[in-house]
Structure 1
Amino acid sequence: MAAIPNRDAFGLVYAPNGRDAQIALSLLGEAGTNAKAVGDLTSFVASLSDDVAFAVVTEEALRSADLRAVSIWIEKQPSWSDLPFIVLTSRGGGPERNPAAARLSEVLGNVSFVERPFHATTFISVARSALRGRRRQYEARLRMEALDEGERRLQTALEAGRLGAWELDLATEILTTSTTCKAIFGRGANEPFTYADLLSSIHPDDQERMQAAVRATVETGADYSIEYRTVWRDGSTHWAEIRAQLYKDRSGTAVKLVGVSADITARMQAEENQRRLNEILEQRVAERTHELQEAHANVMAEVSQRERAEDQLRQSQKMEAIGQLTGGVAHDFNNLLMAVMGNLEMLERHVGDDSRAKRLIDGALQGARRGASLTQRLLAFSRRQDLKIEPVALPGLVRGMEDMLRRSVGSSIQIEADLPENLPSVSADANQVELALLNLAVNARDAMPGGGTIRIQLRQGDVPFTTDQLSAGKYVVMSVADQGHGMDEETLKKAVEPFFSTKELGKGTGLGLSMIHGLAIQLNGHLSLTSTIGIGTTAELWIPVSETTADTETPERKTDTRAVAATGPKRILLVDDDILIAMSSVDMLMDLGHDVVEAHSGEEALECLRDGPAVDLMITDYSMPGMNGGDLVKAARTISPTLPVLIASGYAELPPGLDLDVPRLGKPYTQIQLATEIAKVLNATVD
Structure 2
Amino acid sequence: MASIPNRDAVGIIHAPQGRDAQIAASLLHEVGIKSRVAADLKAFVAALDDDVAFAVITEEALRSADLGAISAWIKAQPSWSDLPFIILTSRGGGPERNPAAARLSEVLSNVSFIERPFHATTFISVARSALRGRRRQYEARLRMAALDEGERRLQTALEAGRLGAWELDLANELLTTSATCKQIFGRGAGDAFTYKDLINCVHPADRNRMQEAIKATKITGVDYSIEHRTVWNDGSVHWAELHAQLYRDRDGKKTKLIGVSADITARVKAEEQQRELNEILEEKVAERTRELGRAHAVVMAEVSQRERAEEQLRQAQKMEVIGQLTGGVAHDFNNLLMAVLGNLELLRKHVGDDAKAVRLIEGALQGAKRGASLTQRLLAFARRQDLHVGPVDLCKLVLGMKDLLNRSVGSTILIETLVPDHLPPVSADANQVELALLNLALNARDAMPGGGTIRIELDEIEQISRKDELAAGRYVVLSVSDQGHGMDKETLQKSIEPFFSTKELGKGTGLGLSMIHGLALQLKGDLKLASTVGKGTRAELWVPVSTSDVASSEHRVSGLENPVEISGPKRILLVDDDLLIAMSSADMLVDLGHEVVEAHSGKEALGYLGGADAFDLMITDYSMPGMTGFELVKAARELVPGLPILLASGYAELPPGVDLDLDIARLGKPYTQQQLALEIDRLAATTTAVSSFR
With structure 1 as the length reference, what TM-score do the two structures score? 0.42
With structure 2 as the length reference, what TM-score do the two structures score? 0.41
Which entry has the higher C-alpha Rg, 1 or 2?
2
